[in-house]
Amino acid sequence: MRLSRDVVLDAALRFVDEHGVQALSMRKLGASLGVEGMALYYYVPNKDALLDGLVERVTEALTDELPDRELPWQEWLRRFAHAMRAVLTRHPALLPLLATRDVMTPAFLGAFETALEVLGSFQPKQAVHVFNSVTTFVLGHVLAEAGRAGQHPPEFPGGYPLIARAVAAGAGHDDDAERFDFAIGALLDGFDRRLCT
């Protein structure tokens, strides 16, 4: 296989999706590509650069799914939030990196710029707050989803009748998409009221 930075990053993304970030090393990544780990340093100078490259890959995937900028801002943000959730849920092992490393890659900055254009009805600082609120919420929600993946729904002891009633009505461990959509709708309603005042 002919190596390039793209080939190395794609292989690293597959490796992390399968084994997690903690298992990633240049030696193991090299082995997955059929080369010595040292051969990778020509394309990524160190592990930090490799991790930054993984963040870059995810933000590029997100910008590939940006909604049409001609949409009303509410619908653009709703679709952006759902696209971001879809991208992040495909790579749950990378969530800690995305929560702790600089995500201001050229791809993400392009998405940010588009968002501020779409949010042109807001004051510039307010528009930044709106976009930040949405992206922070999506990341936190997907982190929570990933943390519960594979777990059985919790069983609540007696003495909590309102919780029992809510669970009986369908609120539970398996309605992440519904909770996500509800919360995004509430955020958008709140932003709309802020704009109108």
| 149-171 residue pLDDT tens | 766 767 777 888 898 888 888 77
Question: In angstroms, rounded to a whole number, what is the distance separating the alpha carbons of residues 162 and 152?
Answer: 21
Neighbours of 194 (CB within 10 A): 12
The candidate with the shortest Cα–Cα distance to 46, out of 94, 8, 10, is 8
The candidate with the shortest Cα–Cα distance to 26, out of 13, 40, 43, 42, is 40
173 pLDDT more than 80? no
Q: Show the DSSP H helices in 64-94 as ranges.
A: 73-90
| 30-68 residue pLDDT tens | 999 999 999 999 999 999 999 999 999 999 999 889 999
Question: In angstroms, rounded to a whole number, what is the distance separating the alpha carbons of residues 4 and 27?
Answer: 17
Model-wide pTM > 0.85 = yes
Lowest mean pLDDT among 18-27, 88-97, 170-179: 170-179
Q: 40 vs 28, 31, 50, 157, CA distance in Å?
A: 11, 10, 10, 54
* Coil, helix or strand at residue 71: coil
